[in-house]
Chains A and B, each alone.
Chain A
Amino acid sequence: MYQVIRFFCLFIFILLMETTVVPSISGSLRIDFFLAAIIGFVLYVPFSYGIFFVFVASFLLQAHSGILTGILPFVYILVYLGIWLVKDFVYLENSRSQFIIACLFNILIIASTGLMMNRWFMEEGIRQVILNTATTGLCAPPLIFCINYLWPANEK
C-alpha cells in the first residue's frame, strides 16, 4: 500500500511538471520527466513493480496527449525494456551516463511516436528537439536520485 502511494505521488509530480509547470514557464518546452523516472525504476525498483508502474502511468499520461491510444504505453514499455537491456552493458549509476541515456532515449521516443503517427519528428524543428532532449537529459540525474531515495535499499 505504501509503495502504491509513493508511486502515485511520484506520478502526480511528473504529470504536474510535464503538463502544467514546464509549459507555463516556456510554452514550447517539453521535459520528459517520465523517461528519467523509467531510468530510475530500471536501476532501483524490482522489474515487476517497475514495468507495471510504467504501464499504468503511461496509460494515464495518454489522457493528456492527442496521440493515438496505446502508442505512449507501447513506446514507454519498449523504452523500459531497452534500458533494462542496456543496464547490463553500460554503468548507469553516474550522472554523465544517465544524461547520455536520457538524451538518446528521448530522441528515440520522439522519433518512434512521430513515425507511428506518420510524421517525421524533425518537423518540430531541430532546435526544439535539441532543446527538449538536452533539458530532459539534465533533469534525469536529480529525478533518478529522488527515486533511489524514495525506494530504500532494504526494499530493492
Chain B
Amino acid sequence: MRRKEEDRIFFAGVLVVLILVMISIGSHRYFKDFFGLNRDAYYWIEKVSFAPFGFASHVWDNYLDLVNTKQENSQLKQNLEKARVEISLYKELANENERLKAMLEFKGASNEFKLLSAMILSQDVSIISKTMVIDKGTRDGFRKSMPVINADGVIGRVIETSPDTAQVLLITDPNSAIPALIEDTRIKGIVKGKGDGSLSLEYVRDPEGLNIGSPVVTSGLLGVFPKGLKLGYIKEIRRPKNKIFLEITLKPSVKIEKIEEVFGVESYVSGN
C-alpha cells in the first residue's frame, strides 16, 4: 500500500517537473508546430462534428425560413444601390487624390489592401487570455502579424499560423498594443487591452480637445496595421494624481463577443 502511494507521488512529481521544463522552453518551435498540428486536427474534427447541424441549418435557411424574403430582398437592393453610389463617390475622391498627388509630384508609395475572409473556429479556453482560432491558415494566405478586422474595426492580429488555421490575439488582451491616434485631434498614443473587454489609450498627456465618444483609429506606425482602421471610442477620461499621463478608457468599436466572420488584411505596396 505504502509502495503504491510512493509510486503515485513519484509519477506526479515527474509530471510536474516535465511541465516546469515545458514552461521554461515554452516558445520553442517544436511546441508551436505541435500546437499548429493540433489546431489543424481540431479544424477537421469541428467540421465533421458540426456537419449535420450545418446541413440542418442550410435546409432551414434556404428552404424553410423564406418568410419575408421578398421584403428583405427589396430592402437589401436599396442598400446595395446606396452603397454603390457611395463607392462611386469614394472612387471619385480617390482619383482626385491621385491627381493632386501627381500634381504635387508626391513620391510616397500608396498601400493597397486585399481582404481574406475567415470564420471563427474556436475561442480561448481560458478567460485570462483573449485569443481565438480562425479556420484559415497559411494555405489561404494568412501569415503572422497580419491584421484581422471586420466592418466595425480592428479585431486583433495573427500570432500563430498553421496550414489550415491561425491564432488571433484580440485587441482586448493585455498583451495587445497598437499605435493609435484620436481621429478629431490627431493626438497619438498606444491602445492596449485591459483584459475586461475594454481598451485603454496610453501615453496621452494633454486633455485639451479630448471628448467622450471621439473615435480612435490606428495610426499606421510600425507598419503592422494600416492607417485609419477604427479601434474604439473614448468612454472615460481621468487625470490621476501624481501621474504624467491621462487614463483614457475606450469602448472597442467591434463587439468581440458577437463576431462570426473576420477578414485578414493583406497589404501590398503599389504606385510610384
Q: 8 Å CB contacts to A: which residues of B108-128? A: 121-128
Complex Cα–Cα for A81 and B9 (A): 9
- 17 other contacts beyond A64-B124, A69-B28, A125-B197, with CB at 8 A cut-off? A28-B257, A51-B15, A55-B15, A64-B42, A65-B124, A70-B19, A70-B26, A74-B16, A74-B20, A114-B128, A119-B174, A123-B174, A124-B127, A125-B196, A128-B127, A129-B127, A132-B127
B23 touches A64 (CB 8 A): no
Whether, in the assembled complex, B95 has its beta carbon less than 8 Å from a beta carbon of chain A, the answer is no
A30 and B126 in contact, given A70-B23, A73-B19, A74-B20 (Cβ under 8 angstroms): yes
A65 and B129 in contact, given A51-B11, A60-B38 (Cβ under 8 angstroms): yes
Q: How far is the CB of B60 from chain A (nearest CB, A)?
A: 16
A68 touches B26 (CB 8 A): yes
A-chain residues with CB within 8 Å of residue B50 when the two chains form the complex: 20
A30 and B15 in contact, given A66-B130, A66-B169, A125-B197 (Cβ under 8 angstroms): no
Whether, in the assembled complex, A139 has its beta carbon less than 8 Å from a beta carbon of chain B, the answer is no
B159 touches A66 (CB 8 A): yes
A16 and B125 in contact, given A66-B159, A68-B23, A73-B22 (Cβ under 8 angstroms): no
Contact with A along B159-179 (1 / 0, CB 8 A): 100000001010001110000
Complex Cα–Cα for A67 and B18 (A): 17
B35 touches A62 (CB 8 A): yes
Task: Across the interface, name the chain A residue whose C-beta is closest to B132.
Answer: A23
B-chain residues with CB within 8 Å of residue A77 when the two chains form the complex: 12, 15-16, 19
Partner of A66 from B16, B28, B131 at Cβ < 8 Å: B131
B175 touches A66 (CB 8 A): yes
A70 touches B22 (CB 8 A): yes
A81 and B126 in contact, given A69-B22, A70-B20, A123-B196 (Cβ under 8 angstroms): no
Q: How far is the CB of B48 from chain A (nearest CB, A)?
A: 10
Q: 8 Å CB contacts to B: which residues of A41-84? A: 47-48, 51, 55, 59-74, 77-78, 81
Partner of A63 from B38, B123, B126 at Cβ < 8 Å: B38
Complex Cα–Cα for A149 and B49 (A): 23
Q: Which range holds the interface residue count of chain A? A: 35 or more
Complex Cα–Cα for A117 and B194 (A): 14
A19 touches B123 (CB 8 A): yes
Secondary structure class of chain A's binding surface, majority of residues: helix
Task: Across the interface, name the chain B residue whose C-beta is closest to A20.
Answer: B122
- B interface residues, tally (CB under 8 Å): 53
B23 touches A71 (CB 8 A): yes
Q: How far is the CB of A67 from chain B (nearest CB, A)?
A: 5
**21 examples of A-B residue contacts, CB within 8 angstroms:** A12-B45, A26-B257, A30-B126, A30-B127, A47-B11, A48-B11, A62-B35, A64-B122, A69-B25, A69-B26, A69-B27, A70-B19, A70-B20, A78-B16, A110-B126, A110-B127, A113-B126, A117-B128, A124-B127, A124-B195, A125-B196
Complex Cα–Cα for A132 and B127 (A): 9
B-chain residues with CB within 8 Å of residue A110 when the two chains form the complex: 126-128
Q: How far is the CB of A90 from chain B (nearest CB, A)?
A: 19
B-chain residues with CB within 8 Å of residue A123 when the two chains form the complex: 174, 194-196
B-chain residues with CB within 8 Å of residue A7 when the two chains form the complex: none
Complex Cα–Cα for A19 and B23 (A): 23
B-chain residues with CB within 8 Å of residue A66 when the two chains form the complex: 124, 126, 129-131, 159, 167, 169, 173, 175
Whether, in the assembled complex, A152 has its beta carbon less than 8 Å from a beta carbon of chain B, the answer is no
Task: Across the interface, name the chain B residue whose C-beta is closest to A26.
Answer: B257
A-chain residues with CB within 8 Å of residue B196 when the two chains form the complex: 123-125, 128
Whether, in the assembled complex, B190 has its beta carbon less than 8 Å from a beta carbon of chain A, the answer is no
B-chain residues with CB within 8 Å of residue A69 when the two chains form the complex: 22-23, 25-28, 31, 35
Q: 8 Å CB contacts to B: which residues of A13-53? A: 15-16, 18-20, 23, 26-28, 30, 34, 47-48, 51
A-chain residues with CB within 8 Å of residue B133 when the two chains form the complex: 19, 64
B-chain residues with CB within 8 Å of residue A60 when the two chains form the complex: 38
